[in-house]
Amino acid sequence: MKVDVQTGEKEFERVMSVEVPWDEIKEEYEQTFQDFRKELEMPGFRKGKVPKQMVKQKHGQQIEYQFAADAIDDYYRQALDEIDEDPINRGAIESLDFSEGEPLAFTARFEIEPEAEIFDYKEGFEIEHEVYEAMPADVDQALDDLRERHSDVEEIDEGAKEGHLLLVDLQRVEPDGTPIIGQKVEDRYIKIGDGVFGDKNQERLEGAKKGDTRRIVLEAEDTNGETEYYDTSIKKVEEQKLPELDDDFAKQVQADAETYDDLREEIQANIQRQLDSDTDDQLTHRIAHKFVQNSEVEAPESMIDNYLDMLIEDVKRQRQQQEGQPPEIDEAAFKQNYRTDAIFNLKWQMIKKQIIDEENIKADEDKVEAKIDELVQSYPEENRESVKNLYQNPQYRQRVEEDVLEDAVMEHIKSFADITKTRKSTAEVRQERQAQQAAEQAVSQQQSESPLTEGL
């Protein structure tokens, strides 16, 4: 078999010409011919007894085509092994030439994973790294959430006040009080003073008792549209009894906490760990952008299509599990929306893979075992043994190995980075995000649903 491969129009395209001599395929062809003849029926002859020459005259081209179609896959794979190429897509057969007694010749065009021209990062590169610092207010908020989750609720008869919970039915009405059919929410809990139930609506709801009906108003700026009116039927007024923030509360919510101060310290440490994880992810993303923007690498269409197809299947599986029925997805719109992200992710994956190959970076087995131990310890003690056994499965262990390898690549890259750290408090971060959200809302033309009618 003769194989010749040339680079196509793009660097990652290959055009492979294959020629298999007749002597190498003669026996296979004769078998195909005999199999066809055995099943052939023609007037005047018994099944399988039609003379060879007549079979060739009547069906020769059909047999040649069938043989070539069956044989081409095998010889295509053999040719790839010979030139040691690994296509990322199914090769397109561009020409095929075969007749009995002649060589089998064909040309295939396929794509391989492109090589990236990575910028000389080993000369050093600058990158910014924002570091967030947890503040006492973050701990206070976390404690408030814990108090909410561990609170008791009791029904009261006196009029409702700020902070009280109301179990209500909400009926949207016209300004004159006429109910709007189909615009009713039943058995919803609202909290006086929260969100749209603050300010003037708080005044309207204060003093309400079981059996009362109060009119509340959502102004146009709250609904991002028109002013909405709701008749609110009070079915129950409840008061939360929040636990005291003391040593007893600390022991109740945190097994290893002896005092309230211990609890605060542990909460702050947990918040800081999460913030550190978030900022590390942001640094990784900044580094990825640096490499993609400053390196020459092209994502072939076949890789983009495969990536988006797999993403769609993942979304379908997730929605199937959540909704219990096959989801409806506009695949064309989905691919259009996620195409830019797909290209970026593919480029970054190819760059990382090339660095791994060039630097011979591997997942350290000790770190893999340590990572598995860390994962196992995150589960309740009674489940740890079964979880540990689960990670003996190559499929699950491979995921951990990939995470460790990812860490190793980033550690290698960061060793050449000049990282400038900018420290920000969580209060500063929240202010920036609020400003960004306000700006996005100011330019957005999309109409959102009312917070009360969502889901109707």
For the chain, the domain total comes to: 3
SS3 of 326, please?
coil
**Same domain as 431, residue 289:** yes
Using CA atoms, how far apart are residues 79 and 103, in angstroms rounded to an integer?
15
Contact 240, 147 (CB under 8 A): no
The reported pTM is 0.71
- Domain-located, residue 453: no
Take residue 411 and report the two structure tokens written for it. Answer: 């550690």
pLDDT one digit per residue (tens) for the chain, 456 residues: 999 999 988 889 999 999 999 999 999 988 888 888 887 877 877 787 777 788 788 888 888 888 998 899 899 999 999 988 889 888 899 999 999 999 999 999 999 999 999 999 999 999 999 999 999 999 999 999 999 889 888 899 889 999 899 999 999 999 999 999 999 999 999 999 988 898 899 999 999 999 999 999 998 777 777 899 999 999 999 998 889 999 999 998 888 889 999 999 999 999 999 999 999 999 999 999 999 999 999 999 999 999 999 999 998 888 888 777 777 889 999 999 999 999 999 999 999 999 999 999 999 999 999 999 999 988 888 888 998 899 989 988 999 999 999 999 999 999 999 999 999 888 888 787 777 766 666 555 444 444 444 443
> Beta 213-218 vs 125-133: how paired, if at all?
unpaired
The span from the CA of 350 to the CA of 356, in Å, is 10
Which amino acid would we find at residue 452? L
Q: Is residue 401 part of a domain?
A: yes
| Helices and strands, counts by H and E, the chain | 13, 11
Contacts of 115 (CB under 8 A, 6+ apart): 11, 12, 297, 354
Residue ending a domain, choose from 241, 270, 298: 241
Encode pLDDT of 276-303 as tens digits: 999 999 999 999 999 999 999 999 999 9
Rounded Cα distance between 334 and 339, Å, is 8
Residue 439 is predicted with a pLDDT of 66
Decide if 214 contacts 170 (C-beta within 8 A): no
Whole-angstrom distance, CA of residue 232 vs CA of residue 206: 12
CATH number, position 266: 1.10.3120.10
The region that residue 195 occupies, defined by phi over 0 for left and psi between -120 and 50 for alpha, beta otherwise, is left
Retrieve residue 421's tokens: 């750290």
pLDDT tens figures, 431-451 = 877 777 666 665 554 444 444
Asked if residue 128 lies in contact with residue 424, where contact means CB atoms within 8 angstroms, the answer is no
Q: pLDDT value at position 35?
A: 83
User: Do 187 and 306 belong together in one domain?
Assistant: no
Q: Report how far residue 105's alpha carbon sits from residue 17's, in angstroms, rounded to the nearest whole number.
A: 7
CATH number at residue 234: 3.10.50.40
Indicate if 39 and 176 belong to the same structural domain: no
Residues 98 and 234 in one domain: no
Which CA distances in Å does 99 have to 28, 185, 392?
A: 13, 76, 54
- At 149, the amino acid letter reads R
| Residues of the domain holding 302 | 258-443
Cα–Cα distances (Å) from 333 to 299, 308, 315, 444, in that order, read: 20, 11, 14, 20
* Cβ partners under 8 Å of residue 301, min gap 6: none
The residue type at 144: D
Q: Which residue, 95, 111, 127, sits at the end of a domain? A: 111
**Distance of alpha carbon 364 from alpha carbon 358, whole angstroms:** 17
**One-letter amino acid of 453:** T
**Cα angle value 347/353/357 (rounded, 5°):** 145
What's the confidence (pLDDT) of residue 191?
Answer: 92
Supply the pLDDT for residue 329: 86
Residues 344, 273 share a domain: yes
Domain presence at residue 206:
yes
- Answer yes or no: do 234 and 262 share one domain: no
Domain final residue pick, 208, 241, 274: 241
Assigned domain for 56 exists: yes
Cβ atoms of 240 and 163 within 8 Å: the answer is yes
